[in-house]
Structure 1
Amino acid sequence: MTFNPVLSWWLLGPLAAAAVLGLCWILFRTRAQPEAAQPEENRAWLFRAALVLLLLLAASRPGLPGGAVQAAATNLNVFFVVDTSSSIAAEDHVSADGGGPRAPRLDGVRADILAVARELGGARYSLITFDSGAAVRMPLTADTSALETAVAVLTPQVTSYSQGSGVTAARTVLAERLAAARDTQPERPRLVFYFGDGEQTSAAAPRDMRLDGSLVSGGAVLGYGTRDGGRMRENSGDVTRPAQTYIQDPATGTDALSRLDEDRLRGIAQQLAVPYVHRLAGDGPAPMLRNAAPGTLERTGESLNGRTELYWLPAFAAFLLALRETLLVSRELRDLKPARQQATAGRGPRT
C-alpha cells in the first residue's frame, strides 16, 4: 500500500488528530445527558466522525503499487471554462443528422473536456465554472483522475438560486489564473477552452473578453445546442431526487426554451483570439484541436512505477454517510415545518 496525499502530511496529520480528539470530547460530553439519549447521540457522532476520517483517508490517496507507465510531458497549461447556468441543461445536444436522443448540453461538455484531456496527455489542467458568478473548481494539476472526478460532478446551477447568467462572468477569475500561471511558469503556453451556449440572461451587458495578449496562447470556444432550442429540467439541488419538471417561462406559463447564440460565441472567440467550433453529439476531438495550437507531447523515455488508485473507496463510503446526514437533516426540517406553522397560527393575526 502506498499513499500520494493531495495535501502535505503535516496538514493531514493534525487534521486527523483533531478529528479523533474532537470525537472523544463529544462522546465524553454526551455522557452528561440522560442515559436514554446517550446511545442515539453517540451513534450520530460516530457516523459524523467516520465521515471526516473517510474524507481524510481519501485525501491521502491510498493505492497499490504495480506495473509501469511511460513518462510523458507536454509544455502546456490548459484552462477549461464551463458554463453551468441552467441553460447548459437544455436537451438539444444532438448528432449532425438530428437523430438519436436529445441529450443535455452538459453531457456533450463533459465528453469533450475528457476528450481534450486525452489528446493533451501530460498537460496540467484547471477547471473554472460560471453562471451568475465564477468559481475555480480545480486548480492547475496534472492529476487526470482529479479532472475526471471534477467533470463527473458538474451540475447546472440550482434553479431556485438562478439570478441570470452572464456569458463573460468568468473573465476576471480566468484572467487572474492565467496571469498567475504566466508569472510562475512563463515557459508553458496557456490554452483556454470555453464551453457554453452563448445565452445571456443577466440584465447586465456582457463584458469584453479581451485579455492581455501574452495570457492566451491558444484554445477554442465550443458551442452547444441548437437555434431551435431545448427544454431545461429543473435542478432542485437534492441529489436524492432526480429532476422531473422543466423550467417554466413566466411570460407564457409553458416550458422555457434555451437557444444557442452562435453570434455571441463567435464574438467571444474573436476577443480571445481563438477559433469557434460548434459541437454535436458524436463529434471527434480533431475539430476542437485543429487550430487550438496545442503543441506536441514529448515522450521522455523514462518508465515510472504504476499504481492502482484506491482513494475512490473511502470517498464513496464518505458520500454514502454524507447522503445519510442529508436525509436526516431533510427529515428534521420537514418535521419542524408543521410545528412552526402551528405556532404561527396560535399567535393569531397582529393588530
Structure 2
Amino acid sequence: MNGWTLSPALGWPAGVALAVIMTACAIAEIVIHIRRRSASDETAASCVRRTLICLLTAVAVLTPSTVAETTSKAVNATDIVIAIDTTSSMAVKDATYGDATTISRLDAAKDAVHDLTKAYPAASFSAMSFGASASLDVPLTPDTLAIDNWADTLSVEPTTTSSGSSLDTPLDKLLLTLKDIRQRHQNDTIVLFLISDGEQTSTTTRRTYSSLRRYLDDALVLGAGSTTGGQIPADGSDDSPDGQETWVTDPTTGQPGISKLSPDTLSTIADELSGTAVMLDATHTATDSLPKASKTWRTTSTAKTRQRTTPVVWPIAIAIAALLAWEFGAWVGMSRRLL
C-alpha cells in the first residue's frame, strides 16, 4: 500500500529541532506584526509571506516522503562466493581472530564471514562448505542475514566420515557455481573467498585452482590456525569441554596427531587464483587486503516485499523559492521608495 510519511534527511533529532525553530519563527512573526501593527510599515501580505516561508521550511526539513511497497532491490554488482573448509582439522583450537583469544579454526572462519557481510552489505553472496565432499549451501542471494545464519550453523564433519583432507574437493563445485554466475551476470565483479587451514593429508595430488581464474575478478585465500598446530578432537566437535576431549591418533606414531596451518599451500592456491593470501591471527582479519567492490548496480527481484521511501521535497522548494523571490522584489521596491 502506498502512503505518506516523514523521513528527515538530517535525522530525527536535527530535523525536529530545526522544524521547531522555524515554527517558533513563524509564530514570532505573527505576534510581532500584531503588536507593532500601528508603528510598523510591514503589510499583512509581508507578514503572511514571511510566515509561510518559515512554515514551509519547517515542513521541508522533516522531508515528506511517499512510501510504496516493492519486490525489487538495487544491489551492488559484486558477487561474493565463500568456500569454507569443514574437515575435522578445522576443530583444532589454535586459531586467533582480531585478538589474542584462542578459538577453533572454524570459529575464526565464522568470524571472517560476518566481517565479509559487513564489508559488502549491498553485494550478493553464495556459500559452500567442503570436507569429504563439497556442497553449495546457499545459492547467490543479496540476503546477507542468510549468509550469517549459514555461517553460525556450520560444524566440522565427523572424523568417521573423513578420508583425508584434499584441498581440491570444492574445485568442481566452484567451477560450476562460478561459471553459472558469470553467465547470468556477465558484467558483475566476482570475488572468491576460500577459508581453510591448508592441510592436505590425502595421498592424491592436488589439482590446480587456475581453472577458476577465467570466471573471477579477484580472490582472497584466508588461512585459519597456527603453524604451531594442535590436536584434532576425535569426535569432530569444536566445542567439547576442555579436559574431556579424545584426540585423533597418528597411525605412524600411535600418539595424538598434530594438525598445522600450511601458509605455503594457501599462498600457492592464491597464486593459482591470481589472488592474495592472508593468514588470520590476532592482528590480521578478513578485512585485510579486501578486493574492491564493483562501482555499478543492478536491480534484482525477490519474493520478499519491502518498503521504498521516496522524498518529495521539490514542490515545497519551488514554493519557498517563489516566496523568497517575492520577498526580494518587495524589498527592492521598498528601498526605491525610501530613496
Q: TM-score, normalization: structure 2?
A: 0.61
Q: Contact 1:156 / 1:235 at 8 angstroms: preserved in 2?
A: no
1:103-252 aligned at under 5 Å gives the runs: 103-211=103-211, 213-235=213-235, 244-252=245-253
Distance in 2, matches of 1:181 and 1:252, equals 46
Q: Contact 1:77 / 1:123 at 8 angstroms: preserved in 2?
A: yes
Secondary structure at 2:215 match in 1: coil
Counterpart residue type for residue 198 of structure 1: G
Counterpart residue type for residue 86 of structure 1: S
Distance 1:235 1:144, change over 3 A: farther
Distance in 1, matches of 2:104 and 2:199, equals 15
Distance in 1, matches of 2:129 and 2:85, equals 6
Aligned residues: 232
Distance in 2, matches of 1:147 and 1:134, equals 17
**CA drift at 1:282:** 6.0
Distance in 1, matches of 2:82 and 2:97, equals 23
1:294 has 2:283 as partner? no
Counterpart residue type for residue 147 of structure 2: L
1:21-170 aligned at under 5 Å gives the runs: 73-94=75-96, 99-100=100-101, 102-170=102-170
Distance in 2, matches of 1:284 and 1:260, equals 16
Counterpart residue type for residue 188 of structure 1: D
Which residue number in structure 2 is paired with residue 36 of structure 1? Answer: none
Distance in 1, matches of 2:298 and 2:172, equals 35
Counterpart residue type for residue 269 of structure 1: A
Cα deviation per residue 1:131-189 (whole Å; 9 max; x = unaligned)?
23211111111122221221111111111111011111111110111111111111211
Q: Contact 1:80 / 1:194 at 8 angstroms: preserved in 2?
A: yes
Secondary structure at 1:182 match in 2: helix
Secondary structure at 1:148 match in 2: helix
Cα deviation per residue 1:3-22 (whole Å; 9 max; x = unaligned)?
xxxxxxxxxxxxxxxxxxxx
Distance 1:264 1:72, change over 3 A: same
Cα deviation per residue 1:247-281 (whole Å; 9 max; x = unaligned)?
22223332221111111111100111111111114
Q: Contact 1:122 / 1:297 at 8 angstroms: preserved in 2?
A: no
**What is the identity percentage for the equivalent residue pairs of Structure 1 and Structure 2?**
26
1:12-23 aligned at under 5 Å gives the runs: none
Q: Contact 2:222 / 2:286 at 8 angstroms: preserved in 1?
A: no
**CA drift at 1:119:** 0.7
Secondary structure at 1:87 match in 2: helix
Distance in 1, matches of 2:294 and 2:161, equals 40
For structure 2, the 5+ residue unaligned runs are 1-72, 300-305, 309-339
Distance in 2, matches of 1:215 and 1:187, equals 11
Counterpart residue type for residue 295 of structure 1: S
Counterpart residue type for residue 294 of structure 2: G
Which residue number in structure 1 is paired with residue 273 of structure 2? Answer: 272
Cα deviation per residue 1:98-132 (whole Å; 9 max; x = unaligned)?
x44x2111111000011011110111111111123
Secondary structure at 1:287 match in 2: coil
Distance in 2, matches of 1:161 and 1:78, equals 29
Q: Contact 1:92 / 1:229 at 8 angstroms: preserved in 2?
A: yes
Structure number with bigger Rg: 2
Q: Contact 1:218 / 1:294 at 8 angstroms: preserved in 2?
A: no
Distance 1:94 1:83, change over 3 A: same
Q: Contact 1:165 / 1:202 at 8 angstroms: preserved in 2?
A: yes
Distance in 2, matches of 1:250 and 1:190, equals 42
For structure 1, the 5+ residue unaligned runs are 1-70, 307-351
